[in-house]
Copies of this chain bind each other. A is one copy, B any other.
Amino acid sequence: MVTLAQVARHAGVSPSTVSYVLSGKRSISEATRRRVEHSIAELGYHPHAGARALASNRSNVIALMIPLRTDMFVPVMMEIAISITTTARRYAHDVLLLTSEEGPSAVKRVAGSGLADAIILMDVELDDERIPLLRQTGAAAALIGLPADPSGLSCVDLDFEATGAVAADHLADLGHREVALIGAAETVYRRHTGFAERTLAGFGRRAAERGLSFLHRPCGGSHEATAGTLSRILEERPGTTGFVVQNEAALPHLLSLLRQVGRAVPEDASVVAICPDDVALHASPQLTSVSIPAEEMGRRAVELVMAQASGEDTTGLTLLAPTLTVRESTGPAPHAG
């Protein structure tokens, strides 16, 4: 193992000088810096992470807690995790992966052992067990998702109200007058509160502003549930031509059901999905959708904890603006027959 002391000897300077060349915490003459950097390269020196953490009281590690239960769409989780890792590297940090299998106590372990300087929680639940521990340890932290009580916490999430509004706008712009929001399953409403309700609120308000008449129906993920939901909507409002769907599982069923009942997409009915781009692209027809900005969520979370490290107060919600991508599943409203 090459040590800093060896580098110092090789370069003919003191250990502290090498340390300062590395950290940039004081000015070094050009000549000295070059000599040191040369020695570092020649010896293949890498600072010992543990020693550094011990002396500086900072580990340069961010802990990332992912849920075991994998009901968030897995590729999205993965994309967030990758985004967090690559962003962390830009701040010279590494990422420690924790699963919730260890339980909420992992928060205490990581905070208490100096393993990580900050914690990012993914897939935060309404009433997340980890949050009290987080508050108690006072660790730097960012949450992806919104808990019931986000006071004093730094949270990142998609702006679901704006998402609902954007979807309503798109359908209104295309001339649709009667629209329906096919929502998440009941179970999702219970656990993950907030996101479904927020979408509905934004959708409802904008639909009203644009003079649309609209319906909202929660929906299970199975074929049967989707069929039931759709037929009830069409019975109640046969003139419905625009659908907003916030339910990945129901999406393929809905598409085949619409075809089955003779409503071609997008000629007779338009569908706006709220889902990851993957899903939208793999459906047929490809879906006009508001995507989940996974990359940005991960990046923002890292930026939040890094800002905290430099003393900033980042408390509050970071709500990301939705972007709607027009694909093949939406088109002008059919002329009233």
Contacts and interface: CB of A to CB of B under 8 A. Distances in A.
Nearest to A58: B50
Contacts of A98: 85, 94
A49 B44 contact: no
Contacts of A94: 96-98, 115
Q: Which of A1, A66, A94, A108: most chain B CB closer than 10 A?
A: A94
Contacts of A29: none
Nearest to A63: B94
Interface stretch (A72-80, A153-161, A203-211, A316-324): A72-80
Nearest to A88: B97
B82 A46 contact: no
A94 to B, nearest CB: 6
Interface string A24-67: 00000000000000000000111111111110000101001010
Contact of A99 (B59, B85, B113): B85
A64 B97 contact: yes
Interface in A83-122: 85-86, 89, 94-99, 101-102, 108-109, 112-115
A81 interface: yes
A116 to B, nearest CB: 9
A95 B82 CA distance: 14
Contacts of A2: 112
A260 interface: no
Nearest to A106: B89
Number of copies of this protein chain within its complex:
2
Question: Chain A: interface residue count, which band?
Answer: 35 or more
A68 interface: yes
A310 interface: no
Given A50-B114, A64-B97, 18 more contacts: A1-B112, A2-B112, A44-B108, A47-B113, A48-B54, A48-B113, A48-B114, A49-B50, A49-B115, A50-B50, A75-B75, A82-B99, A85-B97, A85-B99, A89-B102, A94-B115, A95-B96, A97-B97
A23 interface: no
A47 B59 CA distance: 14
A81 B97 contact: yes
Contacts of A82: 66, 68, 99
A70 interface: yes
A113 B52 CA distance: 10
Contacts of A115: 49, 94
B112 A44 contact: yes
A101 B53 CA distance: 24
Q: Which 7 A-B pairs have the closest CB atoms?
A: A50-B53, A46-B112, A50-B50, A50-B54, A46-B113, A49-B115, A74-B75
Interface string A253-288: 000000000000000000000000000000000000
A74 B78 contact: yes
A95 B106 CA distance: 13
Contacts of A61: 96
Interface in A126-180: none
